[in-house]
Structure 1
Amino acid sequence: MEYHLEGFKPNLYFFWPVKQTHSKRASATPEAPRSRVRTLKEGPNPGYHPQRNRNTVQLIWRKNMSTEGVASVERALSILDVFTDREKSLTLTEISKRAGFYKSTTLRLAESLEKFGYLRRFEDGTYMIGPKPLFLGSLYQRHFSTHDFIPPLMRRMSEELREGISFFIRDDNHRVCLHRVEAPRSIRDTIHEGDALPLTVGASGHVLMAFSGMSGERYDQVRARLYAISLGERDPETSAVAAPVFSGGQRLVGALTVSGPRYRLDQAALEAIVPALQRYAAELTETLGGAWPGKSDAKPAGAD
């Protein structure tokens, strides 16, 4: 569609797009569509609404800007994610390769992150994590409460597995139930928050001892597999499977445990629960600022 101006005079004539018209003259060879100009005297093209079109353009522009803004934030966070505890600093080229960005894009993002304290640039041109993440981490730790994060996750576990879920921590020679969600069944094992149980028996006890540095073949297996199973050790009618949960610095926080009647949770049933248990343990570990072994090269404390 073409646009023309007839008798253009500033502020006097306007033009609107109009439908293409064809010549009424009969011809053996059809003529190409011609366009004409609609002047101020003829009025605007029917169906053309300047304000509506302007609003549509503004909406599209805002949507595009919003999408680009989210993408920029995601790229900046991807830059921070390439840093690990294996090296003190990274060159711009190393950051670019790990993040999968062009070097020019990486430089632009790194400059913005440096400006706000998320990165620090050395004189040799390398980068390291800046002080701002440490400040945010301290705020997180200051206001963090296990009750805000662990019980909701345990409730999701119980709904999925339909068994009792416990979270144990070590207290000297005992394991203490810090949080508990009962199974949604009439026949179930019973554990109460605050119960202090022997550390040397039970799946959670084996996990807590293994990742506290206890030596022995059994604990070596627990550290290698990242879970422990017990069948009737504390109570001959119950069984359990437990996995470790870590925090920042790969410090052991506790043991996430699934337990129930032994007739329902035999060896095969407990082994089948392990993937889901470790998935939740990994999620909780990441929530607490740790890294689940296998997702990174981080080595849990007590794994030596």
Structure 2
Amino acid sequence: MTKRDQEEGQSNSKSGVAAVDRAFTILGAFTHEQPVQSLAELARNTGLYKSTILRLLGSLEGFGYIRQMADGNYQLGPKLAELSSIFQDAFDLRDYVEPALKDVVNQTHEGVSFLVRDGDTQLCLFRQDGRHAVRDYHIRVGTRLNLDSGASARIFRHLSNPARLPNPLPRYYAISRGEVNGEMAAISAPVFGARNELVGALQISSPIARFTDDHVEMLKSVDTEASVRLSISLGLDPRQFSSDLEALHD
């Protein structure tokens, strides 16, 4: 497909005005791996003409969404940090999740993440690093993962439909070893909301070398207990939970 075909396809998008779609395409091209990009890189990563990108970059820069650096390259602008702050202020889940994460780290010394499903991906919304010198550096706030593999992916694949959940709920958990990263292992447990809906996954991750049987049993206990407490704090009736543990497998 040529760049012209791609641009015409985007201009026919039903989701909004073509220029807006293209502007969001440019913003979406910036990633943790490529936080700073040249015009040529943006053209390659978006499939848009350089002339189109330059025109939109001017508008985005004027509103603070893009910043041109002294060397001519581009990075995201300060307006996005402001919007992120507004989003976090309105999304009070932080007030419940962050204390739960800190408690898990205090008990296990391992890193723990809170992930949410976002379409056909999962997004790390909150994160507390562990206290070990050797720990999981591969996941942080904003990291996006697919739903094909990993402990938290299994949670989202199996438990996203409230109508299919039993009553009472078992204390679900999922374990993965080397699925997402060959050196890391993880255990994940679901967090539910007041209407039995799956809100997210509480995932503890560590190097595989520390994932011994005894350590896994301890992590399983801490993670499932933390996920139950967090679910209850979010409004789920504690009577909805049974005392039975149930592992999720593919």
TM-score, normalised via structure 1 length: 0.45
Cα distance, 1:268 vs. partner? 4.4
Pick one of 83, 97, 113 that aligns with 1:150: 97
SS of 2:218's equivalent? helix
The ranges of structure 1 where at least 4 consecutive aligned residues each deviate by more than 3 angstroms after the TM superposition are 291-297
Cross-structure match for 1:127:
none
Quickly say closer, same or farther: Cα 1:174–1:154, change in 2 above 3 A. Answer: same
Q: Which has the higher contact order (CA 8 A, sep 6+)?
A: 2
Q: Does 1:184 align with 2:131?
A: yes
Q: In 2, distance between residues paired with 1:188 and 1:167?
A: 17
Quickly say closer, same or farther: Cα 1:236–1:172, change in 2 above 3 A. Answer: same
Cα distance, 1:212 vs. partner? 1.6
SS of 1:208's equivalent? helix
Cα distance, 1:270 vs. partner? 1.8
**Larger strand fraction of residues:** 2
Q: Does 1:175 align with 2:116?
A: no
Cross-structure match for 1:166:
113
Structure 1 runs not aligned, ≥5 long: 1-141, 215-219, 298-304
Q: Does 1:251 align with 2:197?
A: yes
Pick one of 211, 227, 234 that aligns with 2:173: 227
**After superposition, what is the alpha-carbon deviation per residue over 1:138-176, rounded to whole angstroms, capped at 9, x for unaligned?**
xxxx97701111111101110111000000100111110
Aligned residues of 2:160 and 2:197 also touching (Cα < 8 A): no
**After superposition, what is the alpha-carbon deviation per residue over 1:17-51, rounded to whole angstroms, capped at 9, x for unaligned?**
xxxxxxxxxxxxxxxxxxxxxxxxxxxxxxxxxxx
Quickly say closer, same or farther: Cα 1:249–1:213, change in 2 above 3 A. Answer: closer
Aligned residues of 2:170 and 2:241 also touching (Cα < 8 A): no
Q: In 1, distance between residues paired with 2:233 and 2:100?
A: 10
Aligned residues of 2:170 and 2:242 also touching (Cα < 8 A): no
Q: How many residue pairs get matched?
A: 150
Quickly say closer, same or farther: Cα 1:243–1:173, change in 2 above 3 A. Answer: same
Cross-structure match for 1:202:
150
**After superposition, what is the alpha-carbon deviation per residue over 1:213-240, rounded to whole angstroms, capped at 9, x for unaligned?**
49xxxxx9xx855000000000110000
TM-score, normalised via structure 2 length: 0.55
Cα RMSD (Å): 2.7
* Larger Rg over CA atoms: 1
Q: Percent identity, aligned pairs only?
A: 32
Quickly say closer, same or farther: Cα 1:144–1:189, change in 2 above 3 A. Answer: closer
Quickly say closer, same or farther: Cα 1:242–1:235, change in 2 above 3 A. Answer: same
